[in-house]
Chains A and B, each alone.
Chain A
Amino acid sequence: MLVAGDRTLADGVVLDLEGREVPLRAVFKQGPVVLVWLRHYG
């Protein structure tokens, strides 16, 4: 899908390991990326 309503993946926000918000847009801006969404950490 990569689009939910009027939001796209670039609108997504995640957290870094310190709990700071990281917009996915900022992740992409650094260059092409392979994003892997994990089922869980176990």
Chain B
Amino acid sequence: MRSIKKDIEAAGARLVFIGNGNTAFARHFKEALVPDCEVLTDPSTATYALLGARRGFWTTWTLRSLPAAIRALRHGFRQSRTRGHPYLQGGVAIVDSTGAVRWSFVSRFAGHHPSPELIVAKLRLVLAKPAAAQS
């Protein structure tokens, strides 16, 4: 995701990560993985609820996650100790300066993510159109 930060900024937006662990976990995440990105955290998970994020054991432990897990391993990613809620899924939203959500994606299970290219394409599309023109 960090790889598209420049594309997001070139389109006129910012990339902000929101995690769900405590602030120490968030600081570690920023320092270790995304030092040049804005990181916030939501231990209450209230904003996850507003996003409509999925949660539950079977959203993490599902065969549907297997292809993404294999893909991640092939690319050298290894999950370290879980810091935060283990059975809470994430998502992505593009929000304009009025607070209007112009596009969103809610992960249905672990490893279910929009591609970075899709996020940039959606961002360029929504910022090219006024909010009222969105379908």
Partners in one complex: yes
What is the interface of chain B, defined by CB distance below 8 A to chain A? 1, 8, 12-21, 23, 25-30, 39-43, 46-53, 79-86, 88-99, 101-102, 104, 106-107, 110, 119, 123, 127
Q: In the complex, how many angstroms separate the beta carbon of B12 from the nearest chain A beta carbon?
A: 6
Interchain Cβ contacts within 8 Å, total number: 161
Pairwise interchain contact A32-B18, C-beta atoms closer than 8 A: no
Instruction: From known contacts A14-B40, A40-B83, A41-B83, infer whether A33 and B95 are also in contact, taking CB-CB under 8 Å.
Output: yes
What is the interface of chain A, defined by CB distance below 8 A to chain B? 1-4, 7-19, 22, 24-25, 27-42
Pairwise interchain contact A17-B30, C-beta atoms closer than 8 A: yes
State in angstroms the CA–CA spacing of A17 and B40 once bound together.
6
Pairwise interchain contact B13-A28, C-beta atoms closer than 8 A: no
Pairwise interchain contact A40-B50, C-beta atoms closer than 8 A: no
Pairwise interchain contact B16-A34, C-beta atoms closer than 8 A: yes
Which A-chain residue is minimally distant from B14 (CB atoms)?
A33
Q: In the complex, how many angstroms separate the beta carbon of A8 from the nearest chain B beta carbon?
A: 7
Pairwise interchain contact B47-A32, C-beta atoms closer than 8 A: no
State in angstroms the CA–CA spacing of A9 and B53 once bound together.
12
